[in-house]
């Protein structure tokens, strides 16, 4: 089941009346059309200036948290799968290095482009595509989202992809992009179905929706190899995560398809054969492990993926998973 980490979520329902009133007060859209009802009117998620400010605030908070190994320093700027991955990483770092990150190197972004969709209702969100001083030539894709005017933009998804894999997006005459509904029937796979279909594919190898690649057939092949290590058995469970701040978000591409960001959860259980024991884990795994590792260790990972989902009936017609960032969030020894 999905879990909403954000404490602000519990206050959001109470804010809806105020949100609607605030949005109705916005008398003009960028095109000059009168806004009759903010919850239904199609509006840009933000301005490019506000998007740039959100990215700057996130980067500052992210660097401060990484330097101190203190998740409280960027908790207001992350949500969804990235919050799970980031907070667990910082928690482990604090345990192994209480004084902070001696190897801290600030993340510096450059050559940033912003893709901002027009849409009705909440959440409002946008994509920032940046180069960075880490990850080689890869492009860093940040998806910022917020569920009310009272909340700051937070990064829910962060993935790294090859520069040539970033598609061109469909935009209107004013440069605003198009958000694709989660239940869209115009794509090879509806965005809301990508997480469950991907989990089923990984666990059972069923279905032909996904094209071969590092994060599909390659990952399954690697699992088979890892399961054959001497002295232990390895089992995998893959689960979809589809609700709240983990829900998929999709942008229309020029070819009629969509770039989709989605979330999955994965469990890896290692069990030592009788008369043997599991090898020692690294310090980060130990820091996130509860219980005593006697015969087995079950690790929980959260993963966020980005995929190109072609238009239904397009030549080839398979979903290509372009990038995936995964992090250990907890472990249990038995």
Specify if 30 maps to a domain. Answer: no
Specify if 195 maps to a domain. Answer: yes
Given this model, what pLDDT does residue 39 score? Answer: 60
CA atoms within 13 A on the CB side of 149: 15
CB burial string 279-290: b at 16+ within 10 A, e below:
eebeebbebbbe
The predicted model scores a pTM of 0.87
Residue matched to tokens 């043997």: 276
The total domain count for the chain is 1
330 CB contacts (<8 Å, ≥6 apart)? 88, 288, 289, 290, 299, 300
Alpha-carbon torsion 99, 105, 110, 115, what sign? negative
Specify if 77 maps to a domain. Answer: yes
Specify if 27 maps to a domain. Answer: no
> What pLDDT band is residue 149 in, cutting at 50, 70 and 90?
confident
Residue matched to tokens 């869209």: 184
Given this model, what pLDDT does residue 20 score? Answer: 36
Q: What is the domain extent for residue 81?
A: 38-333
Specify if 150 maps to a domain. Answer: yes
With vertex at residue 259, the alpha carbon angle to CA 255 and CA 261, rounded to the nearest 5 degrees, is 170
Specify if 33 maps to a domain. Answer: no
At 197, give phi and psi (nearest 5°).
Answer: -65, -40
Q: 283-297: per-residue pLDDT in tens? A: 999 999 999 999 999
Given this model, what pLDDT does residue 206 score? Answer: 77
Q: 169-186: per-residue pLDDT in tens? A: 999 999 999 999 999 999
At 70, give phi and psi (nearest 5°).
Answer: -135, 105
Specify if 12 maps to a domain. Answer: no
Cβ(197)–Cβ(242) below 8 Å: no
Secondary structure element (H or E) that encloses residue 290, with its range: strand 289-291
Quick check: 302 pLDDT over 90? Answer: yes
Token output for 97: 């290095």
> Which residue stretches of the chain are H helix?
9-24, 48-68, 80-96, 191-204, 217-226, 283-287
Cβ(309)–Cβ(210) below 8 Å: no
Cβ(278)–Cβ(272) below 8 Å: yes
Specify if 6 maps to a domain. Answer: no
């Amino acid at each position: 089941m999905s879990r909403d980490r954000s404490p602000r979520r519990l206050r959001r329902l109470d804010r809806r009346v105020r949100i609607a009133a605030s949005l109705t007060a916005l008398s003009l859209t960028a095109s000059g059309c009168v806004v009759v009802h903010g919850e239904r009117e199609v509006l840009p998620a933000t301005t490019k200036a506000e998007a740039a400010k959100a990215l700057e605030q996130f980067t500052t908070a992210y660097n401060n948290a990484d330097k101190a190994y203190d998740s409280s320093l960027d908790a207001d700027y992350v949500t969804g799968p990235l919050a799970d991955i980031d907070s667990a990483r910082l928690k482990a770092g604090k345990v192994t290095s209480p004084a902070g990150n001696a190897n801290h190197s600030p993340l510096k972004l450059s050559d940033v482009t912003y893709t901002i969709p027009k849409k009705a209702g909440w959440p409002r969100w946008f994509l920032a595509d940046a180069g960075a001083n880490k990850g080689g030539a890869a492009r860093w894709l940040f998806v910022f989202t917020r569920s009310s005017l009272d909340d700051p933009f937070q990064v829910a998804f962060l993935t790294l992809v090859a520069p040539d894999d970033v598609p061109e997006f469909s935009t209107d005459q004013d440069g605003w992009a198009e958000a694709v509904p989660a239940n869209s029937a115009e794509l090879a796979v509806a965005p809301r179905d990508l997480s469950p279909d991907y989990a089923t594919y990984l666990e059972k190898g069923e279905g032909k929706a996904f094209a071969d690649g590092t994060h599909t057939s390659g990952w399954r092949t690697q699992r088979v190899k890892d399961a054959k290590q001497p002295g232990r058995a390895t089992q995998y469970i893959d689960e979809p995560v589809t609700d709240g701040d983990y829900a998929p978000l999709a942008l229309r591409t020029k070819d009629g398809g969509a770039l989709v960001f989605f979330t999955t959860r994965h469990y890896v259980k290692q069990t030592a054969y009788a008369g043997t024991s599991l090898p020692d884990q690294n310090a980060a795994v130990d820091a996130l492990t509860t219980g005593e590792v006697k015969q087995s260790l079950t690790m929980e990972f959260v993963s966020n993926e980005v995929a190109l989902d072609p238009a239904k009936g397009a030549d080839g017609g398979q979903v290509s998973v372009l990038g995936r960032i995964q992090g250990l969030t907890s472990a249990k020894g038995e």
